[in-house]
Amino acid sequence: MAMSEKVRVRFAPSPTGYLHIGGLRTALYNFLLARKRQGDFFLRIEDTDQKRVNPEAISNIVKSLEWAKIMPEEGVFIDKEKKVAERGKYGPYIQSKRLATYQKYAHDLVEGGKAYYCFCTPERLEELRKSQQAAKLAPAYDKRCLKTVSLDEAKKRIAGGEEYVVRFNIPEIGETKFEDIVRGKISFANKNLDDPVILKSDGYPTYHLAHVVDDHLMETTVVIRGEEWLPSTPKHILLFKAFGWEPPRYAHLCVILNKETKRKLSKRDGDVSVEDFVKRGYLSEAVINFIALLGWNPKTEREIFSLEELIEQFDEKKINRAAAIFDVGKLDWMNGVYIREKNINELTKLCQPYIKDYLKNNPSPDKGKSLENFEYLKKIVSVERERMKKLSDVVQNIDFYFTCPKVNRKILNWKNTSDEKTREALKKARDVLLLISEADWSLDNLKNKLLKAANPKSRGELLWPLRVALTGKEKSPSPFEVAWVIGKKESLKRTELAINTVE
């Protein structure tokens, strides 16, 4: 593709549910190509399969794209009144609003001898399918209505109220060739192609007709879509040619496989919608970075890319043919990198909803350390973020920040240390904390003073019982971090309680 070529691409999902993570990858690649080539990127909604349409899906699709920061500048969007709206000169961008256009073009093909009216009943089609299966033939329509029903007769039957569909007449000889951006030169023998229905009996077009008409009228130059559409591409190219139109260039993306099952990533694998990843606390920057590398190789050892860097590096020729593996572990690692790079104020705001839900389900008796105390929450997040892979991880181990724990006598002693030595260690820790003023109560100061007081050869004798006293747990952040977060008064209170248990 020449750099000077005008690029116009689209993301055209069906509003049948939440946006799948694979759909987000398709949108991303279209977005990257448009930005790389200073072209246009628009959002079209393909809702011609009315039986599967979910009324809330359009809003979810738009919100998912906005969350990912790859929202198209043209097409469908949600306005200030939270209603579905459209912008751009090629509208409507919602296919159900374009039925008259599709019907016109379908009937034009019939009049030109490139398509025909079909009156075969579902029962007849089922019998045909079974007979072909018995004969070990690929299921395909046998062109019966093309061969036995003239155009004049068809029009009379339609005028009489008989139900019909319009089928595209695939040539029975020759080959359809095209060059896929990802897969190179591809050829299909026309005799192996079925005559697809392009206009259904309810007046709605099928995907085959609708997207061809729209991509022509909306001047789409490149179609990036999933590989499941590759077998249908020759039908689409033949449709373009039947209209006398130049087809766009196609790029069929590789399938995304579940790492464990090696099957195509699907709803059976659990959380695979963009909404799921948002709820679990993945950052949009990390998700975009991760899915960009699911099928595209920048030919570098780097793995962390900002959206701007992805635009700069993107080259459609580097999209892979081989299946991509969805490795949640890698996504978690990448998300953790982005979490640690976040500004602490922004990260705390992102974590607040998770902490709010936690406090709602685990009421805290300490009202002074509530959700409204942003500075306190900021301290918690700054400590916890080193261990966080997702935003939701912030609440995995935070109960002791909001509630004074009961001293766990069973784990208070360090290794085989006696009760007497544990008591001495706690008193020593308490004395260190007492000498640190409120003004000097910093993480670095706490760490330096406590480490200085500890035995260099066995620091655990001092630090272990103090950590258990402050948190009630074997596994938690360091005692310096916890003491810094909960403050001097609370730290001393908890240390005294621990001392009293071993008196």
Residues 416-455 have pLDDT tens digits of 889 999 999 999 999 999 999 999 999 999 999 999 999 9
Provide, rounded to the nearest whole percent, the portion of the chain with pLDDT above 70: 97
Q: Are residues 108 and 227 in the same domain?
A: yes
Which of 397, 418, 443 is the last residue in one of the domains?
Answer: 397
Residues 325-357 have pLDDT tens digits of 999 999 999 999 999 999 999 999 999 999 999
Q: What is the pLDDT of residue 262?
A: 87
Q: What is the pLDDT of residue 437?
A: 96
> Residue 165 pairs with which residues in a beta bridge?
118
Enumerate residues 6+ apart whose C-beta is below 8 A from 444: none
Q: Are residues 445 and 476 in the same domain?
A: yes
Q: Work out the mean pLDDT of the chain and round it to a whole number.
A: 94
Listed range (180-194, 212-226, 261-275, 376-390) with the worst mean pLDDT:
261-275
Looking at the domain assignment, is residue 1 inside a domain? no
Enumerate residues 6+ apart whose C-beta is below 8 A from 242: 109, 112, 114, 115, 168
Compute the Cα dihedral for 124, 130, 133, 134 and give only its sign: negative
Looking at the domain assignment, is residue 91 inside a domain? no
Q: Which residue has the tokens 């963009």?
A: 274
Q: Are residues 247 and 269 in the same domain?
A: no
Q: Are residues 81 and 15 in the same domain?
A: yes
Cβ distance 186 to 177 under 8 Å?
A: yes
> Which positions are catalytic?
267
Looking at the domain assignment, is residue 82 inside a domain? yes
Residue 494, pLDDT > 80, answer: yes
Compute the Cα dihedral for 261, 265, 271, 277 and give only its sign: positive
Listed range (117-121, 243-247, 354-358, 482-486) with the worst mean pLDDT:
354-358
- Give the mean model confidence (pLDDT) for residues 204-230: 97
Looking at the domain assignment, is residue 404 inside a domain? no
Residue 138, pLDDT > 60, answer: yes
Looking at the domain assignment, is residue 106 inside a domain? yes
Q: Are residues 241 and 259 in the same domain?
A: no
Looking at the domain assignment, is residue 286 inside a domain? yes
Q: What is the DSSP letter of 180?
A: E
Strands, E, within 12-54: which ranges? 40-43
Task: Note down the domain range covering 23.
Answer: 8-86+255-331
Q: Are residues 39 and 14 in the same domain?
A: yes
pLDDT category at 304 given cuts 50, 70, 90 is very high
Collapse the DSSP code of 199 into the 3-class scheme (helix H, G, I; strand E, B; otherwise coil) and give the result.
strand
d(CA 85, CA 74): 11
> Residue 176 pairs with which residues in a beta bridge?
188
Alpha-carbon separation of residue 324 from 137, 316, 319 (angstroms): 33, 16, 11
Residue 72, pLDDT > 90, answer: yes
Backbone phi, psi, residue 121, to 5°: -80, 160
Provide the CATH number for the domain around residue 480: 1.10.10.350
Provide the CATH number for the domain around residue 297: 3.40.50.620
Residue 3, pLDDT > 80, answer: no
Listed range (59-73, 351-365, 404-418, 436-450) with the worst mean pLDDT:
351-365
Over the Cα atoms of the chain, what is R_g?
32
Q: Are residues 347 and 234 in the same domain?
A: no
Residue 265, pLDDT > 90, answer: no
d(CA 67, CA 198): 35
Q: Are residues 424 and 304 in the same domain?
A: no
Strands 40-43 and 8-11: parallel
3-state secondary structure 330-387: HHHHHHHHHHHHCCHHHHHHHHHHHHHHHHHHCCCCCHHHCCCCHHHHHHHHHHHHHH
- Give the mean model confidence (pLDDT) for residues 245-261: 94
Domain count, the chain: 4
Which of 304, 331, 358 is the last residue in one of the domains?
Answer: 331
Residue 281, pLDDT > 80, answer: yes
Q: Are residues 50 and 36 in the same domain?
A: yes
d(CA 298, CA 312): 10
Q: Which residue has the tokens 């790492």?
A: 259
pLDDT category at 136 given cuts 50, 70, 90 is very high
Q: Are residues 245 and 261 in the same domain?
A: no
Looking at the domain assignment, is residue 163 inside a domain? yes
Q: Are residues 156 and 227 in the same domain?
A: yes
Provide, rounded to the nearest whole percent, the portion of the chain with pLDDT above 90: 86
Which of 253, 272, 296 is the last residue in one of the domains?
Answer: 253
Q: What is the pLDDT of residue 268?
A: 63
Q: How many angstroms from the chain centroid is the CA of residue 44?
A: 18
**Cα distance from N-terminal residue to C-terminal residue, the chain:** 80
- Give the mean model confidence (pLDDT) for residues 292-315: 94
pTM of the model: 0.91
Q: What is the pLDDT of residue 84?
A: 95
Looking at the domain assignment, is residue 92 inside a domain? no
Cβ distance 45 to 93 under 8 Å?
A: yes
Q: CA geometry: angle at 283 spanning 281 and 287, to 5°? A: 110
Dig out the tokens for 217 from the structure. Answer: 């009228």
Strands 84-87 and 74-78: antiparallel
d(CA 52, CA 482): 52
Q: What is the pLDDT of residue 394?
A: 96
Cβ distance 233 to 250 under 8 Å?
A: yes
Q: Are residues 215 and 312 in the same domain?
A: no
